Amino acid sequence: MKLRCWGARGSIPVSGQEFERYGGDTSCLELRSKDDELLILDAGTGIRALGCELARQERTSLTLLLSHYHWDHIQGLPFFKPLYNPAANLRLGGCEGARTELTRVLARALRPPLFPVPFDKVPARVTNVPFVEGTLRVGGLLVRRIAASHPNRAAGFRIEEDGKSLVYLTDNELSLRHRGGLNFADYVAFSQGADLLIHDAEYLPEEYPQRRGWGHSHIGDAARLAREAGVGTLGLFHHNQERTDTAMDVLLERCREQLSRPGDPACLALFQGFEMDIGP
Ligand SMILES: [Zn+2]
Ligand SMILES: [Zn+2]
C-alpha cells in the first residue's frame, strides 16, 4: 500500500513561511491498496486538496475513517469536492462508542447557520460502514480498530495488506487513561511489528506536565511505544500549531536521540506531501 500525507498538523491549521516544510493543514492521510482501493484517514483541512485531486481523477468510490469528531479532524469535510458529486459514494466509518451514527454527528456540526449546506443534504451518497468485531475490509485492506485515550473518545486504526501494516494512532495520550481509552500495554500489542507507526507526538517531555489531560503524547512516550512494539519506523504526527519548521527539526532530533539503541525503530516526522510505500 502507498501512503500520502495531506496534513500532519494538530488542533488548528497554520500558515506562513515558518511552517512551509512540515505544512499547516490538519490531519488527513491517503492510503491506496495495491489494487488502487482508496482509504482516507481523517478529514482535517488537508482533505480539501485531496478532494481536488480525487475530482480530477474522477474517483467516485471512497472510504473515509474518522479517528474522532474534534474540529481539526473534520474541518476540511465541507470543502471536500467529492461530497458535491452526485455520482460519488462515500462510506464513512468512525470511532467506537459514538452514541449516534457518524452522519448524524456530522450533520449537527455542518448545517446552517454554521455552514450553508447541511451535511445530510449533500449530493453524494453517504453511508455509514460498521466495523464488525472491530474489523472492516476496504477492498484488499484489512482495518482493525482500537479505542484511543482521548477526551470525548477517539479511535486508532491498524491497516494491513499482504503482511505489511500501518498503525495510525493520533490524539492518544499514552501517559493517562481517559474514559473509554486503554492502557499502554494495549497500544503496544496493537502496534506490534507494524512497518510504520504514525503516532501523536505533540509535545516535548518538558512541555507535557502542564498539558497533562489534554489528550496528547510527548515524544518520549511515542518513542517508548515504538520500541516496545518493535515497529519498523515511528512517524511523528499531530504537530503543535506553535511548532515552527526549525522547532520541528529539534523535536525530531530529540526523538531520534531516544531511539538510538541498536535495533531501535527509525524515526521521521510526517509532513504535508510525505509519501511512503509500505510493502509490496
Ligand atoms: Zn487532533
Ligand atoms: Zn482530538
Which domains, from first to last, does the chain contain? 2-277 (3.60.15.10)
pLDDT of residue 186: 98
d(CA 172, CA 217): 6
Q: Which ligand has the nearest atom to the CA of 173?
A: 2
User: Ligand 2 center to residue 265 CA distance, Å?
Assistant: 26
User: Ligand 2 center to residue 215 CA distance, Å?
Assistant: 7
Q: Which residues are close to ligand 1, an ion, with C-beta < 5 A? A: 10, 72, 171
Model pTM above 0.85: yes
Contacts of 116 (CB under 8 A, 6+ apart): none
User: Ligand 1 center to residue 87 CA distance, Å?
Assistant: 31
Average pLDDT, stretch 99-111? 80
Q: Which ligand has the nearest atom to the CA of 70?
A: 2
pLDDT of residue 97: 55
Q: What is the pLDDT of residues 2-16, one digit of tens each?
A: 999 999 999 999 999
User: Ligand 2 center to residue 42 CA distance, Å?
Assistant: 11
Q: Which ligand has the nearest atom to the CA of 73?
A: 1
- How confident is residue 36, by pLDDT bands cut at 50, 70 and 90? very high
Q: Which ligand has the nearest atom to the CA of 42?
A: 1
User: Ligand 1 center to residue 238 CA distance, Å?
Assistant: 7
- How confident is residue 75, by pLDDT bands cut at 50, 70 and 90? very high
User: Ligand 2 center to residue 186 CA distance, Å?
Assistant: 20
User: Ligand 2 center to residue 263 CA distance, Å?
Assistant: 32
Q: What is the pLDDT of residues 197-225, one digit of tens each?
A: 999 999 999 999 999 999 999 999 999 99
CB of 145 closer than 8 Å to CB of 155: yes
Average pLDDT, stretch 120-125? 93
User: Ligand 1 center to residue 215 CA distance, Å?
Assistant: 9
